[in-house]
Amino acid sequence: MHLVYPAVLAALLFCTGLYGVLARRNAILVLMSVELMLNAVNLNLVAFDVWLRDTLHAGQALTLFTIAIAAAEIGIGLAIVLLVYRNRGTADVDRLRDLREDAPGADTPAGDRERTAEAAA
């Protein structure tokens, strides 16, 4: 088996995922693009493991770890995206610049808000 074919396919997958991460605004599509990039890495690991004829199959073992990490990443990432969508009403990455919610007096520290409330009373 030639190493060029899986390497070129992995490079195309990785470039597609990189374009998706940089160009997309929807958080779900960004997570899908990250998964594409991880799958390209997995393809390279397995291809080089077969090409080098490793007796320990280290590339395949690393691929299993990468799959487990990708599953955890997509679970946690999807939970965060759903929570943000429930609170903000959008999953647009450009609109999520900061984690603070826009509330009256949100830019002042907690002590200043208490003093302001006491002064108003």
CATH tag for 4-95 (out of 3.30.565.10, 1.10.287.3510, 1.25.40.20, 3.90.550.10):
1.10.287.3510
Looking at the predicted structure, is the pLDDT value of residue 1 above 70? no
Q: What is the pLDDT of residues 23-55, one digit of tens each?
A: 988 999 999 999 999 999 999 999 999 999 988
Structural domain boundaries of the chain? 4-95
**Cα 12 to Cα 16, 30, 86, 115, 120, distances in angstroms:** 6, 17, 35, 59, 62
pTM summary value: 0.75
Query: Residue 26: phi, psi to the nearest 5?
Result: -80, 130
pLDDT tens-digit series, residues 55-99: 899 999 999 999 999 999 999 999 999 998 998 888 888 887 766
